[in-house]
Amino acid sequence: MRSLFAVVLAAIVATPLLAQSNEISLLGGTSRLSTTDSGESDVHFDGGMAYGVSYNRFWTATFSTDFSAMRTSNDGSIRSAGATLLDAGSLDLTMYGATLQFHPLGHQKLDVYAGAGVANVKADDLESADLRAAGITNVHVGSRTTWLANAGAAIGIGRTFAVGVDAKYVRYRPSSASPGGEAVRLDLDPLIVSLAVKFRF
């Protein structure tokens, strides 16, 4: 009887922890891409929007694995001496990430974390009226699997919800080329800062 009581007591104590060992996050924020210097001109991208979703599984109070899917969109242009020469269209990226996170304070009401992992980045082709007028139908931007760094913080609201800020840096430097054209490496390196609404269960 005493051993049965101990098992039941352990289950009662563990239930809140087990019930909150998972998180689903809705993410929305901004995306910044680096400018590529190609000699006489630069490939520049304005700040854009980002949105996505992630699932985080806590294996211990301090370590978790986060799986995310993000979509970003940034308007691009070809510039020389700060003046816009051509509108390059919108660069839309889809990123799938897997991150190992460390939570130094543990998984509690105030959650601070940092981590690193891998990301697979796919890009839509660049297209615009200016490019077509220059005889360029589209510019293909390559896909890459690369590394990412991640940091953020969240504060719980009750036992089920939390809100926070999440930042991701992705080392993404793909090749790009128009049909029949010479390949150019783009040093994009997206930095994504998002507000996060988290559901804990």
Domain ranges of the chain: 21-200
Considering the entire predicted model, what is its pTM?
0.87
Strands across the sheet with 140-141, in order? 140-141, 175-177, 184-185
Q: Please say whether the structural domain 21-200 has been given the CATH code 2.40.160.20.
A: yes
Distance CA 121, CA 118 (A): 10
Ranking 16-20, 46-50, 111-115 by mean pLDDT, the lowest is 16-20
Read off the pLDDT band of 44 (50, 70, 90).
very high
Mean pLDDT of the chain: 90
Cβ atoms of 138 and 125 closer than 8 Å: yes
